[in-house]
Chains A and B, each alone.
Chain A
Amino acid sequence: MSTETHPSTAEQDEHHDEDENYLNHESGLWSWLTTKDHKRIGILYLISLAAVFLVAGVLAIIMRLELSGPDQTIMSNDTYNQVFTMHGIMMVFLFLVPSTPAILGNFALPMQIGAKDVAFPRLNDLGDLCDGVCVDLYGDQLHRDHP
């Protein structure tokens, strides 16, 4: 793993270089996706969950638009049905259930108890990737159901 290649130099830098931090410790998309740093994983979760929240939130706004008049139709009844089902599923299972533990928990918990990282960093990254794949799968499923 790339994060593991030069820990010795990194640690020494910490003592000498004040500007060294977890954000510029390593760069490149690959180093972020394969990171085992709990703080970076928290940020990855933040980005993907914010995207889910945005999509599901826009769906809610669209629903409220449809409901702004008794017979307002910017969509058919069937579409409305699908939209609120999607809003519910995305908000609850793809956003709310993982939200706080995955974003803030990952970021803050190890620091709050004085640990360098969570116990199983690699498992943590695996969980993040699982979550990403899950969102993809759900999108894919939707696409197949309602092309």
Chain B
Amino acid sequence: MATDTDPAPAPATTDVEHDYHPEHLQHHFVSSEQQFDSAKLGMWLFLITEVLLFSGMFVAYAVYRQWHPETFAAASQTLDPVFGTVNTLVLLTSSLTVALSIHYIQHDEVKKCVYNLLATVGLAAVFMGIKYVEYMSKFEHGVFPGGFFDPHGAHYEFLAQVPYASQFFSIYFVMTGIHGLHVLIGMGVIAWVAYYAWKGAFSSEYYTHIELAGLYWHLVDIVWIFLFPMLYLI
């Protein structure tokens, strides 16, 4: 996200430092390592801001769980752990494929890299599909976030009696919703990276964008690994 894709043309000077100037190297960096390290450090910092973004929501979760533990226990019963488990496996697999794509580009196997990136996008789509089914089954029974909370139907009816149940679902929809938004963004980014990889923009010498997309994708994965037990299991 942080660096240029269109390669900057190499400045043609007679300075020693410019003797050899690879195409992807931007003018203000001295070396490819410096550029790669900078991009990576920038990405880590960005990931820190993302973690803090989610931590706000985790704090809200912790506070309300502390206040209404029975409600949270009862309401989380209505979430289907099968969906959750499958989704966890799907995301973990996608993390594997994105890691493999980095491995392959490091060995200049562009095709395999692209296939793995596309597999990641596909798995992310599966994840979003399952989330869609989950959301829809709740919306059908009037389980909406916040003020529109009106549960009915066999599986959800009892929630109307549980005090503060709407709060649990507010938090559930906000957390999974924002996480889902991150998954969508990740799909876009990885698809875009895959397109450039297909066009031959990357090689073992230069694969910053794949690396960064991979880091981002691992973060999305890790957030889900925390969300899953907190919302579905306990």
Contacts and interface: CB of A to CB of B under 8 A. Distances in A.
Q: Tell me, yes or no, whether A and B come into direct contact in the complex with CB atoms closer than 8 A.
A: yes
Contact of A8 (B2, B11, B28, B39): B11
A136 interface: no
Contacts of B38: 119-120
A115 B28 contact: yes
A100 B12 CA distance: 36
B19 interface: no
A60 B4 CA distance: 44
Interface string B1-37: 0111000111111000000000000011000000000
- State the main secondary structure of chain A at its contact with B: helix
Nearest to A37: B28
Contact of B2 (A11, A15, A123): A123
A116 interface: yes
A13 to B, nearest CB: 11
Interface in A87-129: 115-117, 119-123
A4 interface: yes
A135 B213 CA distance: 32
Interface of B: 2-4, 8-13, 27-28, 38-39, 42
A4 B6 CA distance: 10
Given A119-B38, A120-B2, A122-B4, A11 B9 contact: no
Nearest to A123: B2
For the side of the interface on A, what is the size category? 10 to 19
B28 A11 contact: no
Given A120-B3, A120-B42, A123-B2, A7 B8 contact: yes
Contact of A116 (B2, B10, B28): B28
Given A117-B28, A119-B38, A119-B42, A12 B13 contact: yes
Contact of A7 (B3, B9, B39): B9
B49 to A, nearest CB: 13
Nearest to A8: B12
A121 B38 CA distance: 12
Interface string A7-20: 11001100100000
A7 B28 contact: no
A92 to B, nearest CB: 22
A11 B12 CA distance: 8
A117 B38 CA distance: 13
Contacts of B13: 8, 11-12, 15
B47 to A, nearest CB: 15
Question: Considering the complex of A and B, which 10 residue pairs feature the smallest CB-CB distances, nearest first?
Answer: A117-B28, A116-B28, A8-B12, A119-B38, A11-B11, A120-B2, A7-B11, A11-B13, A8-B11, A4-B8
A140 B38 CA distance: 37
